Structure 1
Amino acid sequence: MTRLLVVGGINMDYVFEAPCLPRTGETLGGQSFRRASGGKGADQAVAATRLGAEAWLVGCTGDDAEGRELLGRLRAEGVRTDHVATTADAPTGAAAVFACQGESAIAVVPGANHRLSAAHVRAAEPLFGRSDLVLAELGIPLAAALEAAELAHRHGKPFLLTPSPAGAIPPELARRVHLFLANEHELMAGFGDGESDWRALLARWPGRIVVTRGGEGAAHVDAQGTLHEQPAFRVPVIDTTGAGDAFAAALAVHWALGIPRAMRLACAVAALAVRGFGSQSTLPTQRELQDFLERADS
């Protein structure tokens, strides 16, 4: 069983389904509304647990009804929340998700996620020694992400990073990352430097990046300079929210198989994740993943 430590955000998602995305000054009639568990860290931890891993989450919620509800849901999924802090200084993080014909636009208010400190992460140091690898994202303060990277390095654990929200990546963090898991926008924002060809960027960082390309699948250039491309699985798309988190968690869970094989499994998990609304409700179990791959191979 893979033991995965996730350091990242926890949000309550407010999902609005509409026929199209609203423009400035426009009021649209929506088709449905729901509240759902979200946040990149929480999504990744739940995805890993459903795939059979043991997952711990280091994060922060507000001392409010939303935070208590989300913690209850995480525990019901089997996620270990011993090191999820609670703060009275900020509300639980929230995201407004506008879903339209299989695409989504998201606005995030980080709230308590930005109260996660380096000290909180440091308090979880025993988990770094017990985990097989560490998965983090940038929806938390940089100091917390840096502390996670340093502790992973100290304990000799692979450190995987989803560079989201997109932007320049500080060199002191980049040097500790074993593998970046980025979509094309994040790739260009973090590594582009004027370059617009994702293949050229992967070649500049051999062995360091997996890029996810939505309906085109995923790709990686290994340390020897060989390009590995994994096509996406063709499935009906209902909502892409959380598909990248599902991919990241699946690749981490299957890390021991090597990146090319792990990418195929991660693409399958991402395909299953877009079959309904919400970032966690459709995350597959290991059995569902195996059944899906058997059908795809038949």
Structure 2
Amino acid sequence: MKKIAVVGSINSDYFVEADVLPKTGETILGNNFFRALGGKGANQAVAASRLGAQVTFFGSIGNDDNGNFAKDSFLLENVETSFLNVANNAHTGAAFVEISNSENRIIVIPGANSHTNKIYVKSHLEQILMHDIFIFQLEIPMETIEYLIPILYEKQKIIIVNPAPSQLIKQDILEKITYLTPNEHEYQLVLDQPDSSMEDALSKFPNKLVITCGQEGVKFFDGSRIVNVPARTVQAVDTTGAGDTFCGAFAVALADGKELSECIRFGNIAAALSVQKKGAQAGMPYRKDLDQFLKRS
């Protein structure tokens, strides 16, 4: 199997659950509190590793308790972290999530994620290039992505960019991405096509632009027609992390040498399994879970 590198963000996610969310100036009693490894990059690395891939993470943590927590969590998930950047002058990224029934409020503080910069990736370029498939998100500096993607393109690597949080990606970078995976709300901003229909956007990027549409499935243009790979219908408990699970699983299927439509199907199944438990990573399936699901379907 091809080796996967995730270049992305790491957060410690702090979750607080309560019956109601407090008003300004109000103090309430909550029901539950827990901490979990988070950040889109970390989520996608864990998703890929649980499905059997050999995954290395390139990113930054602070020299603090949350940084140690992140390293310990990655170790349990069999994600290689030998090349993590420890930023002594920054704290590990953090997200604070208030949850009440189906509502939530989230504040994200990037912290050390801003140190996943050109200097860092240049210093580890030799180790980075030892991998075959690369996953990026947009929670690290864009200059890092704009520096690294052309190098990977010249080396004929497979490059997946999950453009979240959504922002414009330059045309010359778009041309070098192998697979771009925005959702139905992100693609117009990412492509700088505010008035473009989904069909028009897909037709301009055959076998490259892969748009996830929630319960409507995933769409791409195969060069002759728009293909809609249907989502799997399950009883959802928490959809947090479903997109990250899809991206990690999609990369694993590519590492297995599957065709594009099969990679999407594999990702859809993994995402469907992930939403049946609370938390971004708690529901991410292991390979045996997905194999059992495939046998039953």
Give TM-score, length-normalised by structure 1: 0.90
Contact preservation (8 Å) 1:50, 1:285: yes
User: Helix, strand or coil for the counterpart of 2:182?
Assistant: strand
Contact preservation (8 Å) 1:2, 1:132: yes
User: Helix, strand or coil for the counterpart of 2:9?
Assistant: coil
Q: For residues 135 and 234 of structure 1, what CA distance do their matches in structure 2 show?
A: 27
1:226 paired residue number: 225
**Relative to structure 1, is the Cα distance of residues 213 and 31 closer, same or farther in structure 2, using a 3 angstrom cutoff?**
farther
Consecutive unaligned residues in structure 2, runs of 5 or more: none
Q: Which amino acid aligns with 1:13?
A: D
CA RMSD of aligned residues (A): 2.3
1:279 paired residue number: 280
**Relative to structure 1, is the Cα distance of residues 52 and 149 closer, same or farther in structure 2, using a 3 angstrom cutoff?**
same
Identify the range of structure 1 (142-151 vs 243-252) with the bigger mean alpha-carbon deviation.
142-151
| Bigger share in strand | 1
Q: Which amino acid aligns with 1:238?
A: V
Q: Which amino acid aligns with 1:126?
A: E
Q: How does 1:161-240 map to 2 (within 5 A)?
A: 161-191=161-191, 193-195=193-195, 197-222=197-222, 224-240=223-239
Identify the range of structure 1 (211-220 vs 261-270) with the bigger mean alpha-carbon deviation.
211-220
Contact preservation (8 Å) 2:207, 2:260: no
How far apart are 1:242 and its partner, in Å? Answer: 1.4
Q: For residues 153 and 121 of structure 1, what CA distance do their matches in structure 2 show?
A: 15
Determine whether 1:53 maps to 2:64: no
Q: How does 1:57-206 map to 2 (within 5 A)?
A: 57-99=57-99, 106-191=106-191, 193-195=193-195, 197-206=197-206
Contact preservation (8 Å) 1:104, 1:240: no
Contact preservation (8 Å) 1:116, 1:140: yes
How far apart are 1:207 and its partner, in Å? Answer: 1.9
Q: How does 1:286-297 map to 2 (within 5 A)?
A: 286-295=287-296, 297=297
Residue-by-residue CA offset, 1:22-49 (whole Å, 9 max, x unaligned): 7888877755332111111111111111
Determine whether 1:241 maps to 2:240: yes
User: Helix, strand or coil for the counterpart of 2:15?
Assistant: strand
User: Helix, strand or coil for the counterpart of 1:83?
Assistant: coil
Q: Which amino acid aligns with 1:136?
A: F
Consecutive unaligned residues in structure 1, runs of 5 or more: none
How far apart are 1:100 and its partner, in Å? Answer: 5.5
How far apart are 1:192 and its partner, in Å? Answer: 5.4
How far apart are 1:172 and its partner, in Å? Answer: 3.7
Q: For residues 181 and 164 of structure 1, what CA distance do their matches in structure 2 show?
A: 9
**Relative to structure 1, is the Cα distance of residues 131 and 201 closer, same or farther in structure 2, using a 3 angstrom cutoff?**
same
Q: Which amino acid aligns with 2:61?
A: T
Q: For residues 25 and 205 of structure 1, what CA distance do their matches in structure 2 show?
A: 50
How far apart are 1:127 and its partner, in Å? Answer: 3.4
Number of positions where the alignment pairs a residue of Structure 1 with one of Structure 2: 295
Q: For residues 241 and 227 of structure 2, what CA distance do their matches in structure 1 show?
A: 24
1:32 paired residue number: 32
Identify the range of structure 1 (188-197 vs 234-243) with the bigger mean alpha-carbon deviation.
188-197
Q: For residues 31 and 196 of structure 1, what CA distance do their matches in structure 2 show?
A: 45
How far apart are 1:20 and its partner, in Å? Answer: 7.3
Contact preservation (8 Å) 1:128, 1:151: no
Q: For residues 267 and 153 of structure 1, what CA distance do their matches in structure 2 show?
A: 27
Contact preservation (8 Å) 2:168, 2:192: no
**Relative to structure 1, is the Cα distance of residues 188 and 170 closer, same or farther in structure 2, using a 3 angstrom cutoff?**
same
Q: Which amino acid aligns with 1:199?
A: E
Contact preservation (8 Å) 1:269, 1:283: yes
Contact preservation (8 Å) 1:103, 1:239: no
Q: For residues 224 and 18 of structure 2, what CA distance do their matches in structure 1 show?
A: 44
**Relative to structure 1, is the Cα distance of residues 189 and 105 closer, same or farther in structure 2, using a 3 angstrom cutoff?**
farther
Contact preservation (8 Å) 1:195, 1:201: no
Q: For residues 173 and 161 of structure 2, what CA distance do their matches in structure 1 show?
A: 10
Q: How does 1:244-263 map to 2 (within 5 A)?
A: 244-255=243-254, 256-263=257-264
User: Helix, strand or coil for the counterpart of 1:57?
Assistant: strand
Identity across aligned pairs (percent)? 35
Residue-by-residue CA offset, 1:164-215 (whole Å, 9 max, x unaligned): 1112112342232111011112212212523263223212222221111122
